[in-house]
Amino acid sequence: MAAELIADRVARMERRTSESSVSVRMDLDGTGHSEISTSVPFFDHMLTALSKHSLIDLTVEAAGDTHIDVHHTVEDTAIVIGEVLRTALGDKAGIRRFGQATVPLDEALAEAVVDVSGRPYLVHSGEPEGQQYHLIGGHFTGSMTRHVFESITYHAGICLHMRLLSGRDPHHIVEAQFKSFARALRQAVESDPRTDAVPSTKGSL
């Protein structure tokens, strides 16, 4: 099932495979309210932070073969979030398009730069060697952080430069990245009061 626009800047999608079942609803002009249940507790925590700091209302229900590995459920959830984001943005008329945020979490510091460009691209750098092998919260492997951002950017059609500037604690490293992405995304998708045009010299994004 493809994502569908159900109101201005509000979209939803359900996706079912033999590996997972995912349902997402998103309101870009929300207040940061979320209802998240993916069966992966740390991922729930990160998506709650994403909603809270982007001011995007987000409802996510997901279940999958987590008895094998959380990879399928986390990846498929990120895919659906990306598809719903792309659909909710519509023709992108009147948005700011670009957003940038640097967010600390104790010793960790992450910078995110977002371009709602229509061209998917991810640059992800700065994580310390070994971060990808850490099991956070007993379920979420550190390598999934990059994979989540890859899946969202590809399916939403956005460009994201994510850079970890410092960090030691694996939990803090991931959370700082999600929060910086949320704040940058908030800027990029919000309405620009000075124009209702598509923010591109091409006339489309």
pLDDT digits (tens, 9 = 90+) for 139-156: 899 999 999 999 999 999
Judge whether residue 101 has pLDDT over 90.
Answer: yes
Phi and psi dihedrals of 155, rounded to 5?
-85, -20
* β-bridge mates for residue 10, sequence order: 7, 27
Banded pLDDT at 38 (limits 50, 70, 90): very high
Q: Mean pLDDT, to the nearest integer, of 50-76?
A: 95
Task: Check if the beta carbon of residue 92 is closer than 8 Å to that of residue 198.
Answer: yes
pLDDT digits (tens, 9 = 90+) for 183-195: 999 999 999 999 9
Can you give the pLDDT at residue 1? Answer: 78
**Residue 76, CA distances (Å) to 18, 24, 71, 196, 200 in order:** 11, 11, 8, 33, 31
Q: How far is CA 95 from CA 132, 146, 171, 197, 202, in A?
A: 34, 26, 32, 8, 15
